Amino acid sequence: MKFIVTLAASAAIFALPATAAAQGLPSMPRINAPSLDVSDREISQFIELALQIETILEDGTLDDVAMRAAIDTLIAESDFEAERFMAIAEIVADNRLLRRRLPSEVLAYLTED
C-alpha cells in the first residue's frame, strides 16, 4: 500500500503545473488515455524509478521545488520517458490486477542478485 501512496505522491508532484510555472519549470503533459499494454520490462523500470522517487520524497531536507527537480533529473537520466512513467502510474491507479501484481514485483526487484 505504501508503494501505491508513493506513486500517487510522485504523480502529484508532476501534476503541479502552477507551481512548476511559477518556478520556471516545464510542466508535464497529462496523458488522457494511457494504454493498458504494459510490458514486463516497463514494470521493472517503473518499479526501479518509483523506489528511487520514494527515497527523494522521504528526504526531509528538500523543498517542493528541489524535490521536483530531483525527480525530473532522475527520470531524465533513466531510459524511461517521463510521459510513459506517468501513464503507467495512472494505469496502476486504475487497474486492480496490476496493483495486486506490483507488491510481488517490488519484492522480486528488491531481492534480485
First to last CA, the chain: 25
Q: What is the mean pLDDT of residues 64-74?
A: 90
Q: What is the pLDDT of residue 18?
A: 39
**What one-character DSSP code corresponds to residue 79?**
S
* Cell representation of residue 106: 517490488
Q: Is pLDDT at 43 greater than 50 in this prediction?
A: yes
31: confidence class by pLDDT, cuts 50, 70, 90? very low
17: confidence class by pLDDT, cuts 50, 70, 90? very low
CA distance 98 to 113: 24
Residue type, 24: G
Q: Are 104 and 111 in contact (CB under 8 A)?
A: no
